[in-house]
C-alpha cells in the first residue's frame, strides 16, 4: 500500500511554534548533556565533569531546600503526618489551614483529598499573599481579589500577554521588552505573533534602564505597530541589575503618558546582594507617585517560588497581582484561568510558605531564618566573587551582580574569530561558548540567546554552583579566554578594547 503520510510535519506545523527560540535549554545545553553521558560511559575529555551554569535552577546546582517549606508541603500531601511528632506545630498549623481551604473532602480528622482548587487559587493563600505584599510595600494596600495563583511566574506572564495581543498590521500589539531579556518574553511574543519592541539596557551604566531609550524604542515602534505593553525585569535576568526608585518612577511616568500596560517581572525580589541596592516594587512606587498614577496605570506584577532563597522550581508555584484592570477584562481573565482548571496545589502551598513564613513566636522561626540567611549570604558572596574574577580577565568586563542569579559579562571576541564563526554560519558567542564547553566542560549560554547590542558579545552564567565549583569554573573561564585570545594573537587588542 501507499506509505502513511503524517498530518503534522514541519510544513504543516504552526509557524509560530517554529519561530520560538529558548536559549537557556538550547544547543549548548544539549551538547553538554551529550558530553556528560560520554564521560559517564568512560569517555576521555580534558576535564572530568561538566559544570552547568546555564539555568537558574538552584536545587539542580545543589542548593538545599528550606526545611519548613518542605514540611508544610509534605503535611499537605500526606496528612497522616499531622500525627507525627517529628513535624513542628507551626508547619502543621499551616498545612491544616491550607487543607481546610482548598475544598477537599474530610475523612476522619483529616482532609485527605487534593482536589482542583479554585482557578484563581486557594482563597486563604491569596489572602496571605495580599498581607505579604502590604508588609513588603510598607503599608500600600493590596486587595486579595487582585491576586491570582499561577503555574510558576511563566504561566502568569503568558496569560497576561494573551489578553494584550490583538490587532492586525499597524494595529498589532507591540510588546516592549528589555534587551538583554529573559527569553520567555521573546518566545511568547513569537508564539503569539505579536511585535517585539526592543529597548536596550545601558551596559555602561550597570545595565540601568534609561527612559530616553524607552522613548526612542516606542517612537520607532509606533511606525509599524501599536505598542501596548511594557515589560520590565527587576532585578534583571540575565543582567543582574537592581533598578533604583528614581528609574522606576521614570518608567511608570512614561507608561502613564503613553498608556502602556506594565508587566513587572519581580521574581528576583528577594535576590538583592549589593549593599547600596534595594528592591522597590513597581506597585509601591506607583502608590508613592500619588492617586492620579496609582488609580490609573494598569500593572501586573509576578512572583515565583522558583527563585529567591527557596529555589523551588519544580513545584511551579507563582502568583500575579493586577491593579487597575478593567472589571470586564478581569472577568475574561478569570474565564481564561478557569479553562486551565487550577495551578498545582502543591505549588500554591509552597508559595504560601514564602509569603507566610514562621513568626518570631513560632517554633520554626529560628531554623527558617538561619537557612534563609545561609542561602542568601552564599549567593551574595558568589555574586562578588564572580564579578571580581571575571573582571581580572583581559578582554572580559562584568558589571556588578547587584541581584538575581546571573552574571552577563561582555567578552572581547577577536575580529578573526568573528569571521571564522560567520563562515561557520554561527553566532560568534555561540562558537565561543561551544569551544568553552568542549575544552573545559563549562556550560554557559551565549549572549545572543538573550539579545545584545550589535557587535557586542556576552555570555550568561549563573552564580548557583557551590563556591568551590564556581571558583573552578571562573578559573577555567580565565584560562580559556586567554588561550582563545592568544590563538588569534589578540591579547593586546583585548586589553585595549574592553578594559
* CB 5, min distance to ligand PLP, A: 37
Q: What residue is closest to ligand PLP based on CB?
A: 152
* CB 481, min distance to ligand PLP, A: 26
Q: For residue 265, state whether it binds ligand PLP (rule: CB under 6 A).
A: yes
Applying CB under 6 A, which part among 34-42, 119-127, 149-157, 164-172 lies near ligand PLP?
149-157
Site string for ligand PLP, 274-313 (x = CB under 6 A): ------------------------------x-x------x
| 3-state secondary structure labels for all residues of the chain | CCCCCCCCCCCCCCHHHHCCCCHHHCHHHHHHHHHHHHHHCCCCCCCCCCEECCCCCCHHHCCCCCHHHHHHHHHHHCHHHHHCCCCCHHHHHHHHHHHHHCCCCEECCEECCCCCCCCCCCHHHHHHHHHHHHHHCCCCCCCHHHEEEEEHHHHHHHHHHHHHCCCCHHHCEEEEEEECCCCHHHHHHHHHCCEEEEEECEHHHCCECCHHHHHHHHHHHHCCCEEEEEEEECCCCCCCCCCCHHHHHHHHHHHHHHCCEEEEECCCCCCECCCCCCCCCHHHHHHHCCHHHHCCCCEEEEEECCCCCCCCCCCCEEEEEEECCCHHHHHHHHHHHHHCCCCCHHHHHHHHHHHCCCCCCCCCHHHHHHHHHHHHHHHHHHHHHHHHHHHCCCCEECCCCCECCEECCEECCCHHHHHHHHHCCCCHHHHHHHHHHHHHCEECEEHHHCCCCCCCCEEEEECCCCHHHHHHHHHHHHHHHHHHHHHCCCHHHHHHHCC
* CB 22, min distance to ligand PLP, A: 11
Task: Give the residue with the Cβ less far from ligand PLP, 412 or 459.
Answer: 459
Task: Give the residue with the Cβ less far from ligand PLP, 184 or 389.
Answer: 184
Applying CB under 6 A, which part among 32-40, 95-103, 151-159, 463-471 lies near ligand PLP?
151-159
Per CB under 6 A, which of residues 190..249 are in contact with ligand PLP? 233, 237
Per CB under 6 A, which of residues 365..424 are in contact with ligand PLP? none
Q: For residue 267, state whether it binds ligand PLP (rule: CB under 6 A).
A: yes
Per CB under 6 A, which of residues 33..52 are in contact with ligand PLP? none
Applying CB under 6 A, which part among 146-154, 292-300, 354-362, 388-396 lies near ligand PLP?
146-154
* CB 346, min distance to ligand PLP, A: 14
Task: Give the residue with the Cβ less far from ligand PLP, 203 or 265.
Answer: 265
Q: For residue 271, state whether it binds ligand PLP (rule: CB under 6 A).
A: no
Per CB under 6 A, which of residues 171..190 are in contact with ligand PLP? 182, 184
Q: For residue 153, state whether it binds ligand PLP (rule: CB under 6 A).
A: yes
Task: Give the residue with the Cβ less far from ligand PLP, 152 or 395.
Answer: 152
Residues at the contact surface with ligand PLP, assessed by CB under 6 A = 56, 152-154, 182, 184, 233, 237, 265, 267, 304, 306, 313, 318
Amino acid at each position: 500500500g501507499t506509505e502513511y503520510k503524517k498530518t503534522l510535519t514541519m510544513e504543516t506545523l504552526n509557524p509560530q511554534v517554529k519561530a520560538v527560540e529558548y536559549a537557556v535549554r538550547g544547543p549548548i545545553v544539549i551538547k553538554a548533556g551529550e558530553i556528560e553521558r560520554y564521560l559517564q560511559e568512560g569517555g576521555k575529555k580534558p576535564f572530568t565533569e561538566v559544570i552547568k551554569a546555564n539555568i537558574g535552577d538552584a536545587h539542580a546546582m545543589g542548593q538545599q531546600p528550606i526545611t519548613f517549606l518542605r514540611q508544610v508541603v509534605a503535611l499537605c500531601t500526606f496528612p497522616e503526618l499531622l500525627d507525627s511528632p517529628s513535624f513542628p506545630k507551626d508547619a502543621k498549623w499551616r498545612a491544616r489551614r491550607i487543607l481546610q481551604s482548598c475544598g477537599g473532602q474530610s475523612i476522619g480528622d483529616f482532609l485527605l483529598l487534593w482536589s482542583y482548587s479554585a482557578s484563581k487559587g486557594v482563597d486563604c493563600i491569596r489572602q496571605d499573599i495580599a498581607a505579604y505584599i502590604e508588609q513588603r510595600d510598607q503599608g500600600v494596600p493590596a486587595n486579595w481579589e487582585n491576586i491570582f495563583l499561577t503555574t510558576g511566574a511563566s504561566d502568569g506572564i503568558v496569560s497576561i500577554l494573551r489578553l494584550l495581543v490583538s490587532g492586525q498590521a499597524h494595529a498589532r500589539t507591540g510588546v516592549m521588552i528589555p534587551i538583554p531579556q529573559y527569553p520567555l518574553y521573546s518566545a511568547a511574543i513569537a508564539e503569539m505573533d505579536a511585535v517585539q519592541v526592543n529597548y536596550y539596557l545601558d551596559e555602561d551604566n550597570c545595565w540601568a534602564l534609561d527612559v530616553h531609550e524607552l522613548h526612542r524604542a516606542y517612537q520607532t515602534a509606533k511606525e509599524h505597530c501599536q505598542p501596548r505593553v511594557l515589560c520590565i525585569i527587576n532585578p534583571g535576568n540575565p543582567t543582574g541589575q537592581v533598578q533604583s526608585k528614581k528609574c522606576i518612577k521614570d518608567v511608570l511616568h512614561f507608561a502613564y503618558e503613553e498608556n502602556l500596560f506594565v508587566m513587572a517581572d519581580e521574581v528576583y525580589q528577594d535576590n538583592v546582594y549589593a549593599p547600596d541596592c534595594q528592591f522597590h516594587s513597581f506597585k509601591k512606587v506607583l502608590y508613592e507617585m500619588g492617586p492620579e498614577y496609582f488609580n490609573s496605570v494598569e500593572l501586573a506584577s509576578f512572583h515565583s517560588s522558583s527563585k529567591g532563597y527557596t529555589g523551588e522550581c519544580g513545584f511551579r508555584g507563582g502568583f500575579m497581582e493586577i491593579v487597575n484592570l478593567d472589571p470586564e477584562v478581569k472577568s475574561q481573565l478569570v474565564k481564561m484561568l478557569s479553562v486551565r482548571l487550577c495551578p498545582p496545589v502543591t505549588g500554591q502551598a509552597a508559595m504560601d510558605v514564602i509569603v507566610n513564613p514562621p513568626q518570631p513566636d513560632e517554633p520554626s522561626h529560628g531554623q527558617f531564618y538561619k537557612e534563609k540567611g545561609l542561602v542568601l549570604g552564599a549567593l551574595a558572596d558568589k555574586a562578588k566573587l564572580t564579578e571580581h574574577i571575571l573582571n581580572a580577565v583581559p578582554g572580559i568586563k562584568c558589571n556588578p551582580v547587584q541581584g538575581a542569579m546571573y552574571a552577563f559579562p561582555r567578552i572581547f571576541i577577536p575580529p578573526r574569530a568573528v569571521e571564522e564563526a560567520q563562515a561557520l554560519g554561527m553566532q560568534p558567542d555561540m562558537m565561543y561558548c561551544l569551544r568553552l564547553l568542549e575544552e573545559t566542560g563549562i556550560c554557559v549560554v551565549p549572549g545572543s540567546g538573550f539579545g545584545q547590542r550589535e557587535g557586542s558579545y556576552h555570555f550568561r552564567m549563573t552564580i548557583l554552583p557551590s563556591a568551590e565549583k564556581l571558583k573552578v569554573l571562573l578559573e577555567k573561564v580565565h584560562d580559556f579566554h586567554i588561550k582563545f585570545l592568544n590563538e588569534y594573537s589578540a591579547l593586546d587588542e583585548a586589553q585595549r578594547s574592553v578594559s
